[in-house]
Amino acid sequence: MELGLSLGAADGGRPELVLGLGVGRGEEERGRREGGVVGARWWEAAASPEPSVRLSLVTSVGLRWPSENGRSAARARGFDVNRAPSVAAGDAPGMEEDEEGPAAPALSSSPNDSGGSFPLDLSAHGLRGPTDAAAQGGGGRSSSRASDDDEGASARKKLRLSKEQSAFLEESFKEHSTLNPKQKVALAKQLNLRPRQVEVWFQNRRARTKLKQTEVDCEYLKRCCETLTKENRRLHKELAELRALKTARPFYMHLPATTLSMCPSCERVASNPASASTLAPEAAATAPAPTTAAARTAVASPEHRPSSFAALFADPRSFPLATQPRPPPPPSNCL
């Protein structure tokens, strides 16, 4: 899914807002996979031609997109997930081997190592999760679809992760928002969790991040919209004043008839009546606006993206142009 909005055409300093919110996983996941590294960072996929959030403001409004909360350079710290953890290897009660098989030997080399280094070494703290007991009971799942074939009647138990586990996972998430299988298993061993639990935690964490980011984006776009609406109003006021000035003293009346190249009423260039591109910017601005929000968006955006952001602009105040009275029809002698 992709949401997009484009508002207004730039014309030499005119406000232009081009908003695109790529919510879909298409590009994101494609970028991740085509990178050949399972653990590639999703925010790197944002550099793809279809970023998850793209904003271009060519306006005097002076708004800037909030800076990315700078991904810190990979902090190399003493925990290589591709190496078997010193403590937990083999003695993690909840560990199943269906995810990786006998993982430890295979972990020593990492063909697709995406630089897996986790920040903390909780093994030094003798970390014991609160889930030990619960983890014993369940054989794990080998895939995310196998949720109903384990531990028979024992319904899902809500396991609260300890503070240390959460902090460790959080730090890991800062380094890699996605995990490759080896990282997952190593992390699970380190934390005495099942790999499935680590996987679920990362999925939920990504979802929370995205939700939070969406809220931030929405707030920001609302502010953009308000600011642009104000700016639009101001420009219209200015335009009305200029028009009033012009009708009071029509300068073209003093020009010879042969040099009169523009109809004073419709402002259409007489020599090329068929071309819409010959419309003066003001005339284009005062052209009848499409009635539906979707049509407005389609007109405004060359890419014709459907957009839920259109709702933000559904308020007629956001389309002052549409509320302008229709310009009088050109005189009959007008080309």
Q: Which residues bind DNA (CB under 7 A)?
A: 1, 23-26, 28-30, 32-34, 38, 42, 131, 141-145, 147-148, 150, 155-161, 166, 178-179, 181, 196-197, 199-208, 210
Contact 134, 140 (CB under 8 A): no
Q: How far is the CB of 153 from DNA (least distance, A)?
A: 12
Shorter beta-carbon distance to DNA: residue 212 or 233: 212
Compute and round to an integer the Cα radius of gyration of the chain. Answer: 30
For 84, other C-beta atoms within 10 Å of its C-beta total: 20
Shorter beta-carbon distance to DNA: residue 130 or 264: 130
Strand order in the sheet with 53-58: 2-7, 16-22, 53-58
Non-local CB neighbours of 134 within 8 Å, separated by 6+ positions = 94, 157, 159
Shorter beta-carbon distance to DNA: residue 15 or 195: 195
Residues forming beta bridges with residue 7, ordered by sequence position: 17
Q: How far is the CB of 300 from DNA (least distance, A)?
A: 25
Contact 117, 77 (CB under 8 A): yes
Shorter beta-carbon distance to DNA: residue 139 or 320: 139
d(CA 134, CA 259): 89
Q: How far is the CB of 206 from DNA (least distance, A)?
A: 4
Residue 176 sits at the vertex; the CA angle it makes with 171 and 181, to the nearest 5 degrees, is 110
Shorter beta-carbon distance to DNA: residue 173 or 334: 173
Q: How far is the CB of 308 from DNA (least distance, A)?
A: 11
Q: How far is the CB of 309 from DNA (least distance, A)?
A: 16
